[in-house]
Amino acid sequence: MAYLDNIRTFVRVYELGSMSAAGRDLRISAAVTSARIGQLETHLGVRLFQRTTRSLAPTEQGRSFYDGARAVLERVEEAEALVSRITETPRGTIHVAAPLGVGRRLIAPELPGFAQAYPQVDLRLRLSDRMIDLTAEAIDLRFFLGRPADSDLTIRQIATCARVLCAAPGYIARRGAPADGAELLAQRHDCLNLRFPGATEFRWTLQTPQGPRPHPVAGRLECDDGDVLTDWALAGAGIAMKPVFEVADHLAAGRLVAVCTRTPPLPVQMACLFTHRRLQDPKMRLFLDHMAARIGAALAAAEAEAGPG
């Protein structure tokens, strides 16, 4: 296993571009990471990385070795999956990524139950609202809301998430409650916007009598963390468009109030993204089935708690 561990370490150092980052990812110390790379270089008789005190870059030999090393690890994963199918005992590690709000409220609460049901499966959860490259960051699957930019990966639809435009009672007392998208724009309401990488303008698509219509909205506050938008809305800073599951408790308690109820926002699809070969692994299929059932139940409960919009 030592040589395989060295290859696995090399692949993560290559993909993350850092000894320390690879060590954190593999849960080993920087010293062990460096030692494994040194052992691999000694075995191969070449330098795999050029190192300085400030940078690390693969050599030509390192770049050539990477593709073969990555293929070796994939074949090992396929062999482990085959053993799992034969023994009916899922085993191994699943690396999961999700946006912050989705991960905290829908994904993380369900992982301990899956881990208890399948004690030979380890779960690694990474939460971030930035786009994550599954291949470069060795992620097995990524949950997301909306439409992904990735076109060569497999998508499994999980559930439909209702959304709501909402504001705090204090904001409504000060600025009024727009009944629809036309009033939202005409009254120049302060809109709290989620900033996506590369976004240059903000449009909220609302359901109107004429069908879905994009509404160009503006506001002085924006952030790339959806929970910050919720905090700002609770503080009375403006109107936020939120998935209902993220604000159900605030709506039920009256800390936030639905607005634009005559033209509510379109729902958003929650889905999971993964490479096709990963679905051949029994533990992946079990995990996706487990999460799909529980996410659907959690969304239904949240919408019931929030009440009619």
Domain end call among 57, 88, 119: 88
Residue 284 falls inside a structural domain: no
Domain extent for 218: 163-266
Residue 203 falls inside a structural domain: yes
Q: What is residue 260's predicted lDDT score, i.e. its pLDDT?
A: 96
Residue 123 falls inside a structural domain: no
Reference 236, options 168, 308, 146; nearest CA is 168
CATH code, domain with 32: 1.10.10.10
Q: What is residue 233's predicted lDDT score, i.e. its pLDDT?
A: 97
Residue 279 falls inside a structural domain: no
Domain end call among 27, 59, 88: 88
Count of domains forming the chain: 2
Residue 146 falls inside a structural domain: no
The CA distance from 126 to 104, in Å, is 10
Residue 25 falls inside a structural domain: yes
Residue 144 falls inside a structural domain: no
Query: Does the pLDDT of residue 153 top 70, yes or no?
Result: yes
Q: What is residue 201's predicted lDDT score, i.e. its pLDDT?
A: 57
**Residue range 225-237: average pLDDT?**
94
**Half-sphere exposure of residue 209: CA atoms within 13 angstroms, side-chain side:** 3
Reported as a single tens digit per residue, the pLDDT across 73-127 is 777 776 766 665 555 677 788 989 998 888 999 999 999 999 999 998 999 999 8
How many CB atoms lie under 10 A from the CB of residue 207? 17
169 lies in the same domain as 259: yes
**Residue at token pair 């909306």:** 146
Residue 63 falls inside a structural domain: yes
**Residue range 246-258: average pLDDT?**
95
